[in-house]
Amino acid sequence: MGELAVIYEDEVLLACDKPAGVIVHADGTGAPTLTDAVAAHLAATGRAGVRPQAVQRLDRETTGLVIFSLDRATQPALDAQVAGHAMGKTYLAVVRGRFLGGERVIAAPIGRDRHDARRMRACRPGQGKPARTLVRPVAEEGGRTLLLVQLVTGRRHQIRVHLASLGFPLVGDELYGGARSAAGLLLHAWREGVDHPVTGERLRLETAWPTRLWPTCPPALLDR
């Protein structure tokens, strides 16, 4: 997967920018993982005994920010932030067409698709698990819209399912009806806030701008 793109690193935390096509955890196939790459980076910098543990995961084709715990003693504090939805991860997503109406709150429950084990689906109230997504269009060009997306909950395929349920599947997301894209799935975990488990300081982490999604950062996002 090439050189690990480290965004932040100290004794207890490491954040990196995951490329497309790489899984975070081992899946039994022997495919290289992001966890392997982090472990190799630690070994190369004199920390071979450290066992990195991803605090959250991203789908294979989703790119962007992944935080790893490097210390078992402080990992429960990170797990508690994940469980309490306190990390505030922000994604960038590209859909085909004009996403009108300004900021939206999508609050459709999500459950498994009975007809396709690979897929999840938006459900009626009372079915599935509660899911809530905040979406705001920030730029439009060439028949596509760039969206700023924040997860309030963290269900499997949540962004992909919620946007597809509105008739706006992600570009490159063929599983949910999106158009094929040479650049792959246009979904990127861009920013995340986390309370440092030792100092309590609020860290605001951000990857480099993902030019495969959108050529430049729109002015509307520069000061956010």
Domains of the chain: 6-211 (3.30.2350.10)
Q: Check whether 224 has a pLDDT greater than 90.
A: no
Q: What is the pLDDT of residues 138-162, one digit of tens each?
A: 999 999 999 999 999 889 999 999 9
Task: Tell me which long-range contacts 108-112 makes (C-beta under 8 A, separation of at least 24).
Answer: 108/161, 108/162, 108/165, 110/155, 110/156, 110/157, 110/158, 110/161, 110/162
Cβ within 8 Å of residue 16, ≥6 positions away? 4, 5, 6, 7, 34, 37, 38, 65, 66, 68
Q: Check whether 64 has a pLDDT greater than 60.
A: yes
Q: Check whether 116 has a pLDDT greater than 70.
A: yes
Q: What is the spatial distance between Cα 170 and Cα 202, in angstroms, rounded to a whole number?
A: 31
Q: What is the spatial distance between Cα 125 and Cα 129, in angstroms, rounded to a whole number?
A: 9
Comparing 1 with 41, the larger pLDDT belongs to: 41
- Of 4-8, 102-106, 149-153, 154-158, where does the model show the most confidence? 4-8
How many Å is the Cα radius of gyration of the chain? 18
The residues annotated with a catalytic role in the active site are: 59
- Confidence at residue 223, expressed as pLDDT on a 0 to 100 scale: 60
Q: How confident is the model at residue 27 (pLDDT cuts 50, 70, 90)?
A: confident
For residue 83, give the nearest of 93, 91, 72, 75 by alpha carbon. 75
Sign of CA pseudo-dihedral 50, 56, 60, 64: negative
Q: How confident is the model at residue 88 (pLDDT cuts 50, 70, 90)?
A: confident
